[in-house]
Structure 1
Amino acid sequence: MTQDIAQKFDADTAWLELQSTLQQQYAYLDRAGVDKDTLFEVFAPKLIVTQSKQAFADTAQMLLRHFYDPHLNLGPYNAQDYSVFPTGSDIYVNYQNQQFVVVDVKAGSAADVAGIRPNMEIIEIDGMPMHEAVKQVLGREISQLQPEQVNFAANVSLGGYRNTSRKVTAKGKDAEKHYHLAASYEAINAFRDGPMISFRKIDNFGYIRFNNGLGNNKTVDEFKQALAALADTKALIIDLRNTPSGGNTGVAEPILGHFVTHKTAYQRYQTQQVGLPYTHAEMATAYVEPSLPYYDKPFVVLAGHWTGSMGEGMTIGLDAIGAKTVIGAPMADLLGGIKTVQLKHSETWLELGFERLYHVNGSFREDFVPHIRLDTADKDSSGNDPALAKALSVLDRA
């Protein structure tokens, strides 16, 4: 009897710990479109009646997804958890006129290979109608949600469960079709064994694509080798559309350094501190130092729905240090610089953005939109590459 009482899960204390951590350390608690007070009122009663740490974690994940921030996560994960978005994602949809319409498909992914294309309507994921799938991700009806929350939940659901194959039902011009897709992680994990950088010449232009390697130090050397091989090109296309897993500044800054001749600012930030709102925190500036070889010709940047975290930082950084233009779709909006906090009462960890990040012009990183905006950046309805085609057109006219 005494042992049973000692082992009983204290959900009240676990909830207070999660809530206070968010309030004191999450730099995006007040983001537009999210009513945190209402969310806490809705989910507090659900959380404090959970009978186990696993039930608490599952419910807390629903709460956190309402912030539609892919950097805000709670673990540890198990097989019943969704794939982490956007790494575990290959279909991007928007909720339009009560339909979930494909906007983009990740190049080279299972969805791309299967033939899913923009403008199709997604009907079901693993036999569940999309409206129900959204409810399962967030624990609330669509009528209670903001459009950004609906879109985020829909895209999380389409990534499927961790390391589990998926069945997607989509409707094209004619009829519905069932697509059996591999687990969303498979295609992105395959890059671990390959080069971190792919490059080639396209006519007189150089093209360099990152293969989700912004957290791998090999990327720095491979980028330098690619740049040396493309030194005689008239201009360069830097493709950051395949960086969903982010990375770190130790990889990004030496790469940015190839495009400057002196110490140059590339982003700004404010750090959330316990007891001090980020709005009162000192604004700091991040700089990049020159790296050799220096590339002294025009360059453009490609970004899109699978440009995440450090990929987003590199995009705004390249824009700040002199890119001719940025082309593509809105990026993944992984908010801020992140850290992990251990929550002892629920035996979970909370990953959250504690640094708010800005373009050097003072605008929020998450508000940055490519100068030449394309809703579809990876694969168009014909299976072509719209962002690359636009980049070549821009450079041809230069």
Structure 2
Amino acid sequence: MRLFPRVGYLLVLGLLLRPGALRAQLTPAQYQQDFDYFWNTVNDNYAYFDKKQTDWALVRQVYGAQLPGIGSRAQFVRLLENALNELYDNHAGLSTNLPDSRRLVPTGTDVWARFEQGKPLVVAVRAGFGAERVGLRPGMEVLAINDVPVAQALLPLLGRCLKTIDPAARDLALNLALAGDHRTPRKLTVRAQSRRQELFPDQPTAQLEHIQYARPLESRQLGTIGYIKINNSLGDNRLMAAFDSTLEALAGTTGLILDLRETPSGGNTTVARAIMGRFITAEQPYQRHEFPAEERAFGIRRSTLELVSPRPRPYTRPLVVLVGRWTSSMGEGITIAFDAMQRATIVGTEMARLNGAVSSFRLPNSTFGFNIPTERLYRIDGLPRENFVPAEHIMSDVKGTTDTALEKALHHLQSTGKP
């Protein structure tokens, strides 16, 4: 499976603003060639058109008509951002951005919301970031973003080429609006228990623009139970050695909690299999893949099962995996694997629900890339990965100072002693 971490904002911005990067001009024919390559690649390879209301042929017409007015790299980046937004897919994106581009969801956001009975309600808040720090909590209704009423704030973020605006498109537009862009501090106007509040999650600093972790993981012992939290490092091969040494130090515990709630940027299967392999004693399938592009091209369906092999000194005590809205991509893959192998109890909220496995492509003239889901991913019994909900489901894992999911995991391990 080819999953790639979503690109960090500072790195992307640095690449975009290199001396000469914005001065390099392409000809109209080169912009047309790049746009045609982009459109055809998505048309031939995107794996989830059947779930979308996107009229991709209309995308070519609407955005292709804008090409004669494109005279700079920045303008072309914006055109492709808008075209790709027609898929309303969190797992599709460019490998570059502009200062006023929207932050990526979920990597670059700290609040998750959705429409419930017509109201835009907060359903999750990212632990340790600005939204939580200023008091945003699940259940609050979002009234306005930077003084723009929600309904109006969503309009620029809804595709122009949709046959109809479905709930998934509205929810993504809502979350993009809440994420904000890379340069504008956010002001969120919310209502809780009939009381109106104004919150400023990017003050005194825009924490989402400078996300750093002291270590790739952190661990501790909670009585006789071990706890390991992965800090968004599932794409870093150095995590494997750090995880192995940490697990060895916790080998004498009676049970283990693996916290994947801060893994929004994806990762790679090498790291994932290294982690999973420490908890099994026999080789097993852990994930199913399907390749829609091959079926569309030739009418022949192709699917595969991916295996994970045991590694030395397996941890065989009970395991609980914690997940949440910022468990994304590779974190979701690890979760459904443990669930399918019946090796862990999964505790938490819904995850990021990112679609499939991502492949990367590069424009021939502009040279920056774009990523789209090209493979469908399933639990080995055929459940789409994006539809997975933990058996031990909770509505919200953070309420004030209480970590509901962690408390439930501890209770489970202390009371049952079963995976």
**Structure 2 length normalisation: TM-score?**
0.84
Residues 27 and 278, structure 1, Cα contact 8 Å, conserved in 2: no
Please give the secondary structure, in 2, of the residue aligned with 1:217: coil
Q: 2:212 is matched with which residue: 190, 206, 229? A: 190
Q: 2:235 is matched with which residue: 215, 230, 255? A: 215
Q: Distance in 2 between matches of 1:144 and 1:319?
A: 35
Residues 133 and 201, structure 2, Cα contact 8 Å, conserved in 1: no
Check if 1:361 corresponds to 2:381.
yes
1:338 aligned residue: 358
2:22 aligned residue: none
Residues 142 and 150, structure 2, Cα contact 8 Å, conserved in 1: yes
- How far off is 1:142 after superposition? 11
Q: Distance in 1 between matches of 2:234 and 2:314?
A: 20
Residues 278 and 356, structure 1, Cα contact 8 Å, conserved in 2: no
1:165 aligned residue: 185
1:44 aligned residue: 61
Q: 1:303 is matched with which residue: 323, 328, 331? A: 323
2:405 aligned residue: 387
1:239 aligned residue: 259
Q: 1:148 is matched with which residue: 168, 179, 204? A: 168
Check if 1:323 corresponds to 2:343.
yes
- How far off is 1:322 after superposition? 2.7
**Percent of pairs with identical residues:** 32
Q: Distance in 2 between matches of 1:12 and 1:391?
A: 54
**Cα deviation digits, residues 270-304 of structure 1 (max 9, x gap):** 23556845983421121112223311111111111
Q: 1:21 is matched with which residue: 23, 41, 51? A: 41
Q: Distance in 1 between matches of 2:252 and 2:285?
A: 27
Q: 2:392 is matched with which residue: 365, 372, 376? A: 372
Check if 1:313 corresponds to 2:333.
yes
1:3 aligned residue: none
**Aligned pair in 2 of structure 1 residues 88, 256: CA closer, same or farther (>3 Å)?**
same
**Aligned pair in 2 of structure 1 residues 202, 279: CA closer, same or farther (>3 Å)?**
farther
Unaligned 5+ segments in structure 2 are 1-25
Q: Distance in 2 between matches of 1:15 and 1:47?
A: 7
Q: 2:285 is matched with which residue: 256, 261, 265? A: 265
More displaced stretch, 368-377 vs 158-167? 158-167
Check if 1:120 corresponds to 2:143.
no
Residues 101 and 120, structure 1, Cα contact 8 Å, conserved in 2: yes
Give the letter for the 2:208 counterpart.
Answer: Y
**Cα deviation digits, residues 228-279 of structure 1 (max 9, x gap):** 2222222111111110001111211111111111222111212355684598
1:86 aligned residue: 106
**Aligned pair in 2 of structure 1 residues 295, 248: CA closer, same or farther (>3 Å)?**
same
**Aligned pair in 2 of structure 1 residues 140, 27: CA closer, same or farther (>3 Å)?**
closer
Q: Distance in 2 between matches of 1:9 and 1:158?
A: 37
**Aligned pair in 2 of structure 1 residues 275, 148: CA closer, same or farther (>3 Å)?**
closer
Residues 282 and 310, structure 2, Cα contact 8 Å, conserved in 1: yes
**Aligned pair in 2 of structure 1 residues 98, 388: CA closer, same or farther (>3 Å)?**
same
**Aligned pair in 2 of structure 1 residues 222, 12: CA closer, same or farther (>3 Å)?**
closer
**Cα deviation digits, residues 146-182 of structure 1 (max 9, x gap):** 1111111111221111254322222222532222222
- How far off is 1:16 after superposition? 3.9
Give the letter for the 1:385 counterpart.
Answer: D
**Structure 1 length normalisation: TM-score?**
0.88
More displaced stretch, 322-331 vs 136-145? 136-145
Q: Distance in 2 between matches of 1:65 and 1:45?
A: 13
Q: Distance in 2 between matches of 1:278 and 1:174?
A: 58
Q: Distance in 2 between matches of 1:240 and 1:185?
A: 19
Q: Distance in 2 between matches of 1:293 and 1:239?
A: 21
Q: Distance in 1 between matches of 2:74 and 2:186?
A: 24
Please give the secondary structure, in 1, of the residue aligned with 2:227: strand
Residues 264 and 321, structure 1, Cα contact 8 Å, conserved in 2: yes
Please give the secondary structure, in 2, of the residue aligned with 1:181: coil
Q: Distance in 2 between matches of 1:383 and 1:148?
A: 31
Residues 58 and 161, structure 2, Cα contact 8 Å, conserved in 1: no
- How far off is 1:195 after superposition? 1.3
Q: Distance in 2 between matches of 1:134 and 1:279?
A: 39
Q: Distance in 2 between matches of 1:75 and 1:48?
A: 24
Unaligned 5+ segments in structure 1 are 1-5
1:396 aligned residue: 414
**Aligned pair in 2 of structure 1 residues 163, 197: CA closer, same or farther (>3 Å)?**
farther
Please give the secondary structure, in 1, of the residue aligned with 2:49: coil
**Aligned pair in 2 of structure 1 residues 11, 227: CA closer, same or farther (>3 Å)?**
closer
Matched residues, number? 385
Please give the secondary structure, in 2, of the residue aligned with 1:332: coil
Q: 2:117 is matched with which residue: 76, 86, 97? A: 97
Q: Distance in 2 between matches of 1:90 and 1:58?
A: 24
Give the letter for the 1:49 counterpart.
Answer: Q
